């Protein structure tokens, strides 16, 4: 037998597709895997036997996202269309907060810029997110505009694509590399959302790295408590240390660094307004566990 190490790129019905030195294997897991290692995920690096095709060990993860359920992600690329569905600061900032909670850096890619979107609208989004230290790119998956700036972002990284369905995740993948042949949904005007075309998490090899195409899921599934938001909302974590109260929610507390920087224009008003709305809609961690 030969022991090999590889990356799980797909998992279905107990069969794990593994890539090792550019060769693909279909493996199962050995019953002897210890309990804490039994829950193998796409993104896991595993040791397997290339004769009986059984996985017998898994490397410790450096990150573990819950939605989508994936291990060892280096960065989150949040895809949002500028239109159809309409860009939402609320959702985009919620996704970034979610990535921050798992200590995964995020980048925003805006799609459908070919659909007569005003320059002002794009600039406002870019400025807002850049102030919060989040890079923004704008592309058209249809004309290919902007794609060359986006390609290098994926180099040697495991990237998780995340975004509502219908925003163009699969289309972006196909535009980057037509051989991916991801099935594209259609944006339904009537439903106001795209059909869920991508059913499972799968890692695709791209530029010495991997990209995860993920199923659309409801943003309601991204459980964020008030306390998470106060801490992980973009730009807040580093400021929280300078707030007078250690558990400052940055709303009505005295000597709040976030409010101070808002007044000085260092935090965009639209971001702070979105924070208030997100916080208002979130439940409190403490309240939930006191029940
Ligand atoms: N005009 C235009 N249409 C796009 C663009 N990106 C995606 N679409 C369309 O939007 C719909 C949803 O795209 P899809 O890639 O399936 O979205 P996903 O659910 O995020 O994977 C499809 O009809 C695509 O053709 C774009 O940049 N420009
Ligand atoms: Mg898709
Ligand atoms: Zn504060």
**Contact (Cβ atoms closer than 8 angstroms) between residue 72 and residue 105:** no
Q: For atom 2 of ligand 1, which residue has the closest CA?
A: 112
Pocket test for ligand 1, best of 83, 166, 204 (most atoms within 8 A of CB): 166
Q: Does any ligand 1 atom lie closer than 6 A to the CB of residue 193?
A: no
Structural domain for 286, as ranges: 224-290
Q: Are residues 109 and 145 in the same domain?
A: yes
Ligand 1 centroid, distance to 171 Cα (angstroms): 5
Using CB atoms within 10 Å of the CB of residue 241, give its burial: 0 to 12 exposed, 13 to 18 middle, 19+ buried.
Answer: exposed
Distance CA 40, CA 178 (A): 29
Q: Is residue 70 within 8 Å of 97, Cβ to Cβ?
A: no
Cβ pair 12, 27 in contact under 8 A: no
Ligand index nearest the alpha carbon of residue 275? 3
Say yes or no: CB of residue 168 within 6 Å of ligand 1.
yes
Do 266 and 205 lie in one domain? The reply is no
268 lines ligand 1 (CB under 6 A): no
Q: Cβ–Cβ contacts within 10 Å for residue 88, how many?
A: 15
Q: Single out the residue in 166, 198, 219 at which a domain terminates.
A: 219
**Ligand 1 pocket, 111 CB below 6 A?**
yes
Residues 6+ apart with CB under 8 A from 40: 8, 11, 16, 29, 46, 55, 58
pLDDT score at 219: 67
Which ligand 1 atom sits closest to the C-alpha of 197? 19
Q: Which ligand is nearest to the CA of 239?
A: 3
Is any atom of ligand 1 closer than 6 Å to the C-beta of 215? no
- Residue 56, token pair as written in the block: 């017998």
**Judgement on whether residues 81 and 207 belong to the same structural domain of the protein:** yes
Where does residue 155 rank: exposed (0-12), middle (13-18), buried (19+ CB within 10 A)? exposed
Do 136 and 273 belong together in one domain?
Answer: no
CATH for 244 = 1.10.40.50
Query: CB-based contacts of 155: which residues, under 8 Å, 6+ apart?
Result: 207, 208, 209
CA of 104 to the centre of ligand 3 (A): 23
Same domain? For 169 and 284 the reply is no
Does the C-beta of 166 come closer than 6 Å to ligand 1? yes
In total, how many domains does the chain have? Answer: 3
| Arithmetic mean of pLDDT over the chain | 91
Q: Identify whether residues 274 and 130 lie together within a single domain.
A: no
Q: Supply the residue whose CA is at minimum distance from atom 9 of ligand 1.
A: 168
Q: How far is the CA of 154 from the centre of ligand 3 (A)?
A: 35
CA 98 to chain centroid, in Å, comes to: 8
Q: Is 170 in the pocket of ligand 1 (CB under 6 A)?
A: yes
Q: Hey, whose CA ends up nearest to atom 6 of ligand 1?
A: 168
Burial 179-208 (b: 16+ CB within 10 A, else e): ebebebbebeeeeebbeebbeebbbbebee
Distance separating the N- and C-terminal Cα atoms of the chain: 55
Burial class (CB within 10 angstroms; exposed 0-12, middle 13-18, buried 19+) of 71: buried
Looking at residue 50, what is its pLDDT?
A: 96
Q: How far apart are CA 279 and CA 214, in angstroms?
A: 26
Three-class SS state of 45 = strand
261-286: pLDDT as tens digits: 999 999 999 999 999 999 999 988 77
Pocket test residue of 139, 168, 170 for ligand 1, highest count of atoms within 8 A of CB? 168
Do the beta carbons of residue 158 and residue 212 sit within 8 Å? yes
Are 68 and 202 spatial neighbours (Cβ–Cβ below 8 Å)? no
Chosen domain end from 13, 42, 60: 60
- Exposure string for 247-280, b = 16+ CB within 10 A, e = fewer: ebbbeeeeebbbbebbeeeebbeebbebbeebbe
User: What pLDDT is attached to residue 186?
Assistant: 63
Low-confidence ranges of the chain (pLDDT < 70): 186-199, 216-221, 287-291
């Amino acid at each position: 037998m030969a022991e090999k190490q590889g990356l799980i790129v797909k998992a279905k019905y107990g069969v794990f597709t593994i890539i090792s030195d550019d060769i693909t294997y279909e493996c199962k897991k050995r019953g002897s895997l210890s309990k804490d290692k039994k829950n193998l995920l796409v993104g896991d690096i595993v040791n397997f036997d290339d004769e009986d095709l059984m996985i017998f060990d898994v490397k410790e993860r450096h990150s573990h996202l819950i939605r989508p359920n994936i291990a060892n992600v280096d960065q989150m690329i949040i895809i949002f269309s500028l239109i159809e569905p309409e860009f939402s600061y609320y959702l985009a900032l919620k996704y970034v907060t979610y990535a921050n909670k798992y200590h995964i850096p995020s980048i925003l890619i805006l799609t459908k810029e070919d659909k007569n979107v005003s320059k002002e609208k794009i600039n406002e989004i870019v400025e807002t997110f850049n102030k919060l230290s989040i890079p923004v790119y704008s592309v058209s998956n249809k004309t290919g505009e902007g794609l060359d700036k986006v390609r290098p972002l994926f180099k040697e990284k495991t990237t998780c694509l995340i975004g509502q369905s219908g925003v163009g995740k699969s289309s972006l993948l196909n535009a980057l590399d037509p051989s991916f042949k991801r099935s594209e949904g259609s944006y339904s005007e009537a439903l106001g959302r795209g059909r869920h075309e991508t059913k499972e998490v799968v890692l695709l090899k791209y530029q010495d790295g991997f990209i995860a195409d993920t199923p659309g899921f409801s943003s309601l599934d991204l459980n964020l408590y008030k306390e998470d938001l106060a801490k992980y909302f973009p730009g807040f974590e580093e400021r929280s240390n300078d707030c007078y109260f250690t558990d400052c929610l940055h709303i009505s507390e005295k000597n709040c660094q976030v409010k101070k920087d808002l007044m000085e224009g260092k935090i965009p008003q639209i971001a702070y307004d979105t924070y208030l709305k997100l916080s208002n809609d979130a439940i409190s961690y403490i309240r939930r566990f006191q029940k």
